Amino acid sequence: MPVATEQLVERIWERDPTVWTGSGEEKWLGWLDEPRRMRERIGDLRRFADEVGSPGVIDTFVLLGMGGSSLAPIVLKRSFGERSLHVLDTTHPAMIRHSVEMLDLDRTLFIASSKSGTTLETRSHLDFFWERNGGRGEFFAAVTDPGSELESLARERGFLEVFAGEPTIGGRYSALSPFGMVPAALLGIDLERLFERTAEMVEACRFAEGNPGLELGKQLGEGWRAGRDKVCIDESDGGFGLWAEQLIAESTGKNGKGLVPAPGESPDGPDRQRGEVRLEDPYELGQEFFRWEFAVAVAGSYLEINPFDQPDVQAAKDKTNEVLAGGDVELEPESSPEELFAQANEGDYVAIQAFIDPSKESMLEPLIERARSDTGCVVSHGLGPRYLHSTGQLHKGGPNTGLFLQVVDDQGKEVPIPGKPFGFARLIRAQAAGDFESLKERGRRVARIRLEDL
């Protein structure tokens, strides 16, 4: 049974793993103290940003990262309206080609961001731009956990800077760690102001009474118990739901259970609840990151799962490698939206998984509207391979209530990846094929269509 509310907060701060499943959760609670640790590093981050951002030297920053390494920086960028930072979290060759055309490599700093240091997409991006740049280490930095392959590579290649992550924090809980705060510094955000507000939330989350994180977590957990497992996250200017989506899906979607994040969807319905986003000012982002982190940890106690592991994420990666090893694949249409949507039951959700050029994302809108009207279900949508690092855990490990519609497009001319026997076009095809097969193996309802046929 879940822990009694009056004990819950105290036991979370005491690092008691039996709040959840008693299977090592205490090793992943570094996020509770990270705001304090990061505040002590603000001076170093500010100096780095001032040095690399000198006028006439570097004026563009490109973050190479996936999932927990990319989503908080995207929300920060959008919330503060900055244009100097770009986040590359797709393997679609159209976006790689666009990046080559757009970037002045003599004025661009690339930040490779990966906790494990082995993320396939990030390492492929890094190898590609390293070759394009002529192997000039002063135009590269890395954010990675100590002792990773990426750290060794960055030192060997003479990167400008290597920032160490905190090994006791999982990727989706890393927004307030160097994975979110190095990009924040490069965006020119006043980190002292950001962390002053964050510290207020951290302190409020230490008490059983008036605890914003506990209140949201109880709402999520009790809503789930009552069958309201779809969390309809408020829309915000900075796209906060994009970050919260990963936090909720990857933390709770396992053992056949899960909360289903649905950013921007209406909370009106018997299987839905509102996920309120409190952001009157972009400088409230830090405290909102922490409030939701605490809330999802609380919700994990209600679901009686380990909110800090991701046992099914590896499945799609293994399938991708299988497909790559077997040669190239064609992504043929399978079934149809009509057939898929006709299988909808009350309490289901639709997930549109689009392995397409990100610049064409708006072309999905009519399909999203159609999915809503034809099924009456909440509809989520994500770009591949980004969503594999975000909602992919829920899709495979959560309840079998999803209707999965994969959308693919023409990848165009191949873009080679240095040192690999495949390029980006073949890689994204393998990622799409691998995830499709992984879903089918788990008995999920799936279909595939071409963007060109919409």
List, in order of start, the domains of the chain with CATH numbers.
5-32+193-303 (3.40.50.10490), 34-189 (3.40.50.10490), 313-453 (3.40.50.10490)
- The answer to whether residues 80 and 187 touch, using CB atoms and an 8 Å cutoff, is yes
Per-residue b or e along 400-431, where b marks 16 or more CB atoms closer than 10 Å to that residue's CB: ebbbbbbbbbebeeebebeebebbbbbbbbbb
* Span 150-190, pLDDT tens digits: 999 999 999 999 999 999 999 999 999 999 999 999 999 99
Per-residue confidence band for 3, with pLDDT thresholds at 50, 70 and 90: low
- The answer to whether residues 186 and 43 touch, using CB atoms and an 8 Å cutoff, is no
Q: What is the mean pLDDT of residues 269-291?
A: 98
Per-residue b or e along 221-236, where b marks 16 or more CB atoms closer than 10 Å to that residue's CB: bebbeeebbbbbbbeb
* Span 186-215, pLDDT tens digits: 999 999 999 999 999 999 999 999 999 999
- Residues with Cβ within 8 Å of 83's Cβ and at least 6 positions away in sequence, in order, are none
* Span 96-151, pLDDT tens digits: 999 999 999 999 999 999 999 999 999 999 999 999 999 999 999 999 999 999 99
Per-residue confidence band for 8, with pLDDT thresholds at 50, 70 and 90: very high
- The answer to whether residues 221 and 299 touch, using CB atoms and an 8 Å cutoff, is yes
